[in-house]
């Protein structure tokens, strides 16, 4: 059923939003919890996963070491992109694109923590970190789409008319998604709280904000940029950057949802999954987006040089 995380938490290793449902089952559906969940002192990320990396220290587990390394390297790389972007003072959309990079940068340490298999499942710390992670992911994809909207010059970039709605919606996405995720994990209310039935791990709002929204925002951004580059700038070269970024993003999702379990099952004992491949591909997509942004803000395009006589 639409909004069910059950299949994802079973078939996708290191799927972070499963941390929320693990906590929910543990505290509000103990009968179901004992049937579908492993001991929290050893449990991998997921709810009754077919394959998962055990908590660090159990059976020689080094936690999700491959993805920890991938996230750490990505943090350094994206921080460099933020620095380089900040130095292009005259570039169109510099502030907005830097904001997107900063948000993506913030998701990486949270991804490291929520999928790293070194914080005990069901703990308050892991649930809160996962909820904030969800909020940052939703806001990051709003920032991506907003960069496409700003690129149409419907409002002037870098001005209050651009930055106020840009940051306002980003904060709204963080607040709303984080609250919904916290309610799923801690079941403060019956609105976003207990799944019915419990084993379905059901939450339509969380599913939309963490699974549907990112894909929809990325698709809208891609078509917006194609329109801007081909229809307004009348350039072809940047299109290939955007196509490459889109391909890398799609491959990252395929690696996460399809290749992930294959790698996990192929390594015995289960000390590795494919999350690191998805992280590398996703960060590569962000790097290519930076190249695309640079290519459409080059000052020598469509400008004639005049020499005084």
Task: Determine which helix (DSSP H) or strand (DSSP E) holds 245, and give its type and residue range.
Answer: helix 237-254
Is the peptide bond between 269 and the residue preceding it cis, with omega within 30 degrees of 0? yes
HEC profile of 94-151: HHHHHHHHHHHHHHHHHHHHHHCCCCCCCCHHHHHHHHHHHHHHHHHHHHHHHHHHHH
Give the pLDDT of the chain (309 residues) as one tens digit per residue. Answer: 899 999 999 999 999 999 999 999 988 888 777 776 668 888 889 888 888 888 988 777 788 999 999 999 999 999 999 999 998 877 778 899 999 999 999 999 999 999 999 999 999 999 999 999 999 999 999 999 999 999 888 888 778 888 999 999 999 999 999 999 999 999 988 888 788 888 899 999 999 999 999 999 999 999 999 999 999 888 888 999 999 999 999 999 999 999 998 999 888 777 889 999 999 999 999 999 999 999 988 643 444 443 343
Structural domains of the chain, with CATH: 6-296 (1.20.1070.10)
Structure tokens belonging to residue 86: 């900040």
pLDDT at residue 28 in the model: 84
pLDDT at residue 62 in the model: 84
Q: How many angstroms separate the CA atoms of 228 and 3, rounded?
A: 34
Residue with tokens 């059976």: 59
HEC profile of 151-216: HCCCCCCCCHHHHHHHHHHHHHHHHHHHHHHHHHHHCCCCCCCCCCCHHHCECHHHHHHHHHHHHH
- DSSP assigned state of 58: G
Residue of 81, 69, 72 whose CA lies nearest to 285:
81
Would the pTM count as exceeding 0.75?
yes
């Amino acid at each position: 059923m639409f909004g069910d995380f059950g299949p994802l938490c079973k078939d996708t290793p290191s799927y972070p939003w499963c941390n929320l449902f693990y906590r929910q089952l543990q505290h509000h559906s103990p009968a179901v919890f004992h049937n579908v969940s492993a001991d929290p002192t050893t449990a991998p990320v997921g709810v009754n996963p077919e394959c998962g990396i055990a908590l660090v220290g159990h059976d020689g587990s080094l936690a999700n070491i491959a993805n920890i390394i991938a996230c750490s390297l990505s943090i350094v790389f994206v921080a460099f992109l933020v620095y380089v972007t900040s130095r292009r003072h005259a570039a169109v959309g510099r502030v907005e694109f830097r904001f997107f990079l900063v948000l993506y940068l913030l998701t990486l340490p949270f991804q490291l923590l929520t999928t790293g298999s070194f914080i005990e499942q069901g703990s308050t710390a892991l649930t809160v970190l996962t909820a904030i992670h969800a909020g940052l992911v939703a806001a990051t994809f709003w920032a991506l789409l907003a960069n496409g909207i700003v690129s149409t010059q419907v409002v002037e970039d870098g001005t209050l008319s651009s930055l106020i709605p840009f940051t306002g919606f980003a904060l709204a996405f963080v607040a709303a998604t984080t609250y919904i995720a916290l309610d799923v994990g801690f079941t403060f209310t019956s609105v976003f709280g207990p799944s019915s039935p419990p084993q379905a791990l059901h939450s339509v709002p969380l599913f939309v904000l963490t699974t549907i929204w990112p894909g929809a925002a990325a698709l809208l951004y891609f078509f917006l940029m194609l329109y801007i580059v081909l229809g307004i700038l009348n350039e072809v070269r940047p299109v290939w950057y955007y196509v490459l970024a889109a391909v890398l993003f799609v491959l990252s999702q395929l690696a996460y949802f399809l290749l992930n379990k294959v790698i996990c099952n192929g390594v015995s004992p289960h000390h590795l999954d494919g999350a690191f491949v998805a992280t590398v591909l996703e960060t590569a997509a962000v790097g290519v987006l930076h190249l695309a942004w640079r290519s459409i803000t080059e000052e020598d395009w469509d400008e004639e040089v005049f020499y005084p006589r």
